[in-house]
Structure 1
Amino acid sequence: MVDREIEDVFDFLSDFENTEHWDPGTIETRRLSGDGGIGTTYRNRSRFMKREVDLEYETIGHTRPTSFVCRGRNGRTTATDHLTFTRDGDRTQIHYRAVFDFPFPVNVIAPVLVRRPLEKLADETVDQMRKTLEA
């Protein structure tokens, strides 16, 4: 829950270039095409478990001010970020879920190898998102 209007929260978080501010793993995100709505594409460079990863994201869901979905791919991995927003007076509740699909055989061992680092990153992301929005 953040002390910001739902429209402001949606506008900031659905502009995926802002991941540099709220996602601690992001090194850089740049818009490649589009106006921010469905079909907009971004190039994202992130660091995870001491490795740099490049993904090309596409906005696949955009319903202002309640829902945003962006899917990133790099040929091997797919990451889908789901953000939903609900209003509580002048405050906004953010629900964030990132889903990762790994290729075989990584998909078999990933739950064991990356579960804890992903949980840690998720906690850090929620904390950074809240701090950024309330600054």
Structure 2
Amino acid sequence: MIEVRRTITVARPLDEVARYLADFSRTEEWDPGTVRCTRVGDGPVAPGARWHNVSRFRGRTTELDYRLDRLESGRLVFVGANRTVTATDDIGLTAATGATTVVDYRATLEFKGLARLAAPFLRAEFERLADRVAVRLPEALAGQ
């Protein structure tokens, strides 16, 4: 298992940040690994909502189907899976001074089968990816 965590302060009010991040298709704007992320189905963004995510990592394309597991005041949890990995994005939100929000971003990857053997060798690359998320998320929110 790999877990990466970043604390990111953004210059937007908590309610705006929560609305923005609850629409997982926006990962195209702030997650440098995401190539495309599309909503599956209709209706409000609520627990059970689904997205199909296409990402590029180490030159390879992978697809995961994500669902919104938790939508609470101050917390969003998305779980994506395919045959080799289960990815969990656990996002905590706390109102800070003025109109700023602190985002506690934690991504956990649980590899399945033989892919588990590669996890120790991939940690550094996922750390670098999380560093890039920490830069891009405030930039994406500034453009809203």
Bin of the TM-score, shorter chain as denominator length: over 0.9
* Aligned partner of residue 47 in structure 1, secondary structure: strand
Deviation at 1:24, TM superposition (A): 0.5
| Structure of greater relative contact order (alpha carbons < 8 Å, 6+ residues apart) | 2
Tell me the equivalent position of 2:89. Answer: 81
Tell me the equivalent position of 1:22. Answer: 30
1:72 partner letter: G
Question: In the aligned structure 2, how far is the partner of 1:16 from the partner of 1:104?
Answer: 27
Post-superposition Cα deviations, 1:48-72, rounded to whole Å, max 9, x if no partner, equal 11100000001001013x1000000
RMSD: 1.1
Q: Is 1:133 aligned with 2:112?
A: no
Residues paired across the two proteins, number: 133
2:60 partner letter: R
2:70 partner letter: G
TM-score for the superposition, normalised by structure 2: 0.88
Tell me the equivalent position of 2:79. Answer: 71
What is the percent sequence identity of the aligned residues? 33
TM-score for the superposition, normalised by structure 1: 0.94
Question: In the aligned structure 1, how far is the partner of 2:36 from the partner of 2:96?
Answer: 32
Runs of 4+ in structure 1 over 2 Å off? none
Tell me the equivalent position of 1:35. Answer: 44
1:83 partner letter: I
